[in-house]
A and B are shown apart, each in its own frame.
Chain A
């Protein structure tokens, strides 16, 4: 069985500040981990994914995430927030033989 916990349903940052969105997972098999973003009135779009290999994964729009097995975490970061980053972000986990499970989402607000 797998599960995902996203800490904080809402996160607010100032423009130019660091963005940190937290994701912890549980998985009975080596996990595949994903971050998706959903802009208003749109579907989900893949930001980045970790399957195997390098634990620091770079995605689109300057986002990156680090897979930390010892902490069962896959937190999403961006050094400097832009107004256009305001959206809802979803962490998801799957694994060999296990279907994809989404977290509840974190709404990111960027203040000018």
Chain B
């Protein structure tokens, strides 16, 4: 039990589909994150939410749309993706977004394949 649960674990979608990734944390944390992990590339921070407010958006294309309805849930809505968007998408949480000495707690990720 990681404390951070991501669904689905695997997703295959065509370039014209719309799908959503879901993340839920049971740790009472106030900050949640989306990361993209591609082969042979460092982890890329996509979005940061603090108490449901987006505090960071790292130049992510608009085909990725995050949503944080409350501090325990985070979604990543996907539409008109490209094959290069295929990757492992990791959700993470931490106590506070600005508390940089606090570790991140990660979910097991969603393996996304865009065909």
Which residues of B approach A to under 8 Å, CB–CB?
2, 4, 6, 41-43, 45, 56, 90, 92, 100-101, 103-109, 111
Contact = CB atoms under 8 A, between A and B. Distances in A.
For the complex of A and B, the 9 pairs showing the least CB-CB separation, nearest first, are A43-B106, A94-B100, A51-B101, A102-B43, A44-B106, A46-B103, A32-B101, A43-B108, A104-B42
B108 A100 contact: no
A90 B43 contact: yes
Contacts of B106: 36, 43-45
Contacts of B107: 43
Q: Which of B4, B6, B42, B92 has the most CB of A within 10 A?
A: B42
Contacts, number: 50
B104 A44 contact: yes
Given A42-B109, A43-B109, A44-B92, 20 more contacts: A41-B111, A42-B108, A43-B2, A43-B4, A43-B6, A43-B90, A43-B92, A43-B106, A43-B107, A44-B90, A45-B106, A49-B103, A90-B43, A94-B100, A97-B100, A99-B45, A99-B56, A102-B43, A103-B42, A104-B42
A89 interface: no
A46 B92 CA distance: 12
A96 B101 CA distance: 8
21 contacts: A34-B103, A36-B104, A36-B106, A43-B2, A43-B106, A44-B90, A44-B92, A44-B106, A45-B106, A46-B103, A46-B105, A90-B43, A95-B100, A96-B100, A97-B100, A98-B100, A99-B56, A100-B45, A100-B104, A102-B43, A103-B42
A32 B6 CA distance: 27
B31 to A, nearest CB: 11
Contacts of B43: 90, 102
Contacts of B109: 42-43
Chain B CB within 10 Å, residue with most, of A44, A45, A96, A99: A44
A34 B106 CA distance: 14
